[in-house]
Amino acid sequence: MEYLSNDKILVVDLAKGDVEEEELSEELVAERIGGAGVNAHLYGKYADDDPIVLGVGLLTGSMYPASAASVLTAKSPVTGKLCHCPVTLKVGIEIKYAGFDYIVIKGRSDKPVYLWIHDGVADIADAADVWGKDVWETTDAWRKGVGDDLLQTMVIGPAGEKGLDCAQVCCNYWTGPDRFGIGKLFGQRNLKGMAFRGMGLLEAAEPEDFVDEAFELLEAVKDNDFMSKKGLGPICAALGETDAEEWLSPVVHRHSADYFTPYATNTFAFIDEDPATVTETAKPEPGVLISDIPALLAFKKLGLSALDAAKAMQACARQGVDPLAAATASGKAGKTAIDEILAQVAATTEPAAMEGNGVFSPWCPRKPIFGDFGASDTDAWWERRQAVAAIFGIQPVFAVMCPQLTEESMISLSNIGGELELDPETLDAVIGDIAG
Amino acid sequence: MGIKIDALKCTNCMACEMACGYHRDDGFAFLSACIVPYRAREKKDYFGVLLKEEDSLVVARPEGTEINRIGEEADPDKEADASAKPMLLREACDLCEDMKYGPMCVKICPVDAISVEE
């Protein structure tokens, strides 16, 4: 595949300690498009090894708005199904710019390792020094090791190493969409995580036409009323949690966005620093980046202040525990004091209850945010919207916020950029295959 | 005429870096961009934007914009951003003079944090 791609699939055998490369054929892209579509194909190809597959969307890292996401595909220990978990922030695009489109991980290493992917080179590296360390210590160690604070990581903490169903694969320092226990799968394989860095270049077949259409789309996106808002508070309000924004406000520092995502879907809460601080704080670890709306609201429902909820979210991020699982476990055990809840984070084992069909992550709110997509069956609409996002590489929360990011526009830009002839029937077939 | 950056409006999405990289390399890339969100203080949630101009390096911080003249000795009491080093080697902003959209970073910024200052 010449365009929008590195033309490379990496196959990692952790048991043998070797890596191989395959070409990404244009025929495969024409049939399976990208992201979860190709991931599911590769899972089937290597099904005897029950692999973990990481893939980029066809539009990931392009000038299509919100093309931020990659996707992890694996047989979930929580649902028993092949699930597709978004990889967000700036980690999703770094995978593509580090030189690979798809990474198939099979086998189990006999010692702790991590994958180090940089500028088209893949190494299986020793992780003995970080095994037993938490998510923050691990990302810090890997960044320090290569002298690059922009290294992007996917990491498990103690929960993943222990093989718990509530274990997440975290992005850099933060919890994210993994409700599926993929962190457990990493731990079972002695895979501490992956690190990515690269300065690649992706060519488009018709770059000027691509940019013209992408800018036209961006202008339409910017017309939305929600563009005057930022962060999790307004999202909570739009979902009917009208008092959440005021509840959260005492800890809000700033809001940030995943790659080229027009709405900032992440809110940073300061815990031991004044949230009004605009200069660089001297505190090395002042708070936590929050993207998980259901988990945040679950801690709120336990009666926590926003400050205590942020403390709980930070503890989950360090341990690599799904914060919704920790909030659920705390509620079941009747724990409402923050010290008890912090103790519960490290003691959590069970996953959160799964909403939906267990294929796409309910970390993303399961209904339209702000806008009206005119859906008659919201559940079916949400599953399809998540499938489309996972195929093309669109930030999943923005996908349920912005009606202008249509399937037609994703197909059109893919055809212009990739010299392809995709059509709605192909997309329907891929969605039908991956959506469970 | 120059580029003006409001670092408090910025959401650190990197779209400006991509659009600038496209202007330089005719593809999707970040390698040669002269405008770069700095995001090395991730755990502190401290981010802004760097811009390489012909004679200066503009550092748009949340607390205000700082303009460092290139070639002058840096303040030894101030820790430099590691990302400033590769920036100094890149081509300076040319306001995308050959692009029909004008400065691409201004055109793409979804939150209008970047503008042209006459």
The ipTM value here is 0.96
pLDDT at B85: 66
Please, which residues have CB within 8 angstroms of residue A336's CB and are 6 or more apart in sequence?
Answer: A302, A303, A304, A330
pLDDT at A309: 98
pLDDT class of A163 with cuts at 50, 70, 90: very high
Confidence check: pLDDT of A426 > 80: yes
pLDDT class of A330 with cuts at 50, 70, 90: very high
DSSP A167-193: B--EETTB--S--S-HHHHHHHTTEEE
A257 reaches B (C-beta below 8 A)? yes
Give pLDDT tens digits for A362-375. Answer: 999 999 999 889 98
CB B43 within 8 A of CB B61: no
Give, for A385, the enclosing helix (H) or strand (E).
Answer: helix A378-392
Q: Which residue of B has its CA nearest to A64?
A: B15
The answer to the question of residue B115 being in a domain is no
**Chain B (54-83) residues lying within 8 Å, Cβ to Cβ, of chain A:** 61-63, 82-83
What integer is the mean pLDDT of A389-412? 98
Give pLDDT tens digits for A18-75. Answer: 999 999 999 999 999 999 999 999 999 999 999 999 999 999 999 999 999 999 999 9
pLDDT at B87: 83
d(CA A186, CA A182): 6
Nearest to B110 among A262, A279, A280 (CB): A262
CB contact under 8 A, A260 and B110: yes
DSSP code of residue B94? -
The angle, 0 to 180 degrees and rounded to 10, between the axes of the packed helices A424-434 and A407-418 is 110
pLDDT at B70: 85
pLDDT class of B118 with cuts at 50, 70, 90: confident
Nearest to A259 among B13, B83, B101 (CB): B13
CB contact under 8 A, B27 and A204: yes
Share above pLDDT 90 across residues of chain A, in percent, rounded to a whole number: 98
CB contact under 8 A, A278 and B62: yes
pLDDT class of A192 with cuts at 50, 70, 90: very high
The answer to the question of residue B118 being in a domain is no
The answer to the question of residue B113 being in a domain is no
- The CATH number of the structural domain formed by A8-197 is 3.60.9.10
Sorted by where each begins, the domain ranges of chain A are: 8-197
The answer to the question of residue B44 being in a domain is yes
The token duo for A306 is 């926003």
CB A200 within 8 A of CB A97: yes
pLDDT class of A425 with cuts at 50, 70, 90: very high
The amino acid at residue A78 is V
pLDDT at A427: 98
pLDDT at A120: 96
Q: Which residue of B has its CA nearest to A67?
A: B15
Confidence check: pLDDT of A257 > 90: yes
Strands A121-126 and A191-197: unpaired
What integer is the mean pLDDT of A143-172? 97
Provide the b/e sequence for A306-337 (b: ≥16 CB within 10 Å).
bbbbbbbbbbbbbbbbbbbbbbbbbbeeebee
3-state class of A105 per DSSP? strand
Displacement of CA A408 from its chain's centroid (Å): 24
Confidence check: pLDDT of B74 > 80: no
Confidence check: pLDDT of A220 > 70: yes
pLDDT at A202: 98
3-state class of B5 per DSSP? strand
How near does any CA of chain A get to the CA of B54, in Å?
Answer: 24
The amino acid at residue A182 is I
The answer to the question of residue B114 being in a domain is no
pLDDT at B84: 59
Contacts of A394 in chain B (CB under 8 A): none
Q: Give the bridge partners for B117, in sequence order.
A: B2
pLDDT at A207: 98
pLDDT class of B80 with cuts at 50, 70, 90: low
pLDDT at B77: 65
Give pLDDT tens digits for A221-240. Answer: 999 999 999 999 999 999 99
How big is the CA angle at A113 (ends A324 and A72), to the nearest 5 degrees? 45
pLDDT at B79: 61
Confidence check: pLDDT of B71 > 80: no
pLDDT at B75: 65
pLDDT at A376: 85
Share above pLDDT 70 across residues of chain B, in percent, rounded to a whole number: 89
Confidence check: pLDDT of B82 > 60: no
How near does any CA of chain B get to the CA of A134, in Å?
Answer: 15
How near does any CA of chain B get to the CA of A79, in Å?
Answer: 32
How near does any CA of chain A get to the CA of B100, in Å?
Answer: 10
Give pLDDT tens digits for A284-311. Answer: 999 999 999 999 999 999 999 999 999 9
The amino acid at residue A53 is V
Structural domain count, chain B: 1
Nearest to A62 among B28, B82, B110 (CB): B28
The answer to the question of residue B91 being in a domain is yes
The answer to the question of residue B117 being in a domain is no
Give the closest residue to A67 by CA, choosing from A172, A173, A217: A217
Confidence check: pLDDT of B72 > 80: no
Please, which residues have CB within 8 angstroms of residue A112's CB and are 6 or more apart in sequence?
Answer: A126, A127, A128, A130, A131, A190, A192
3-state class of A70 per DSSP? strand
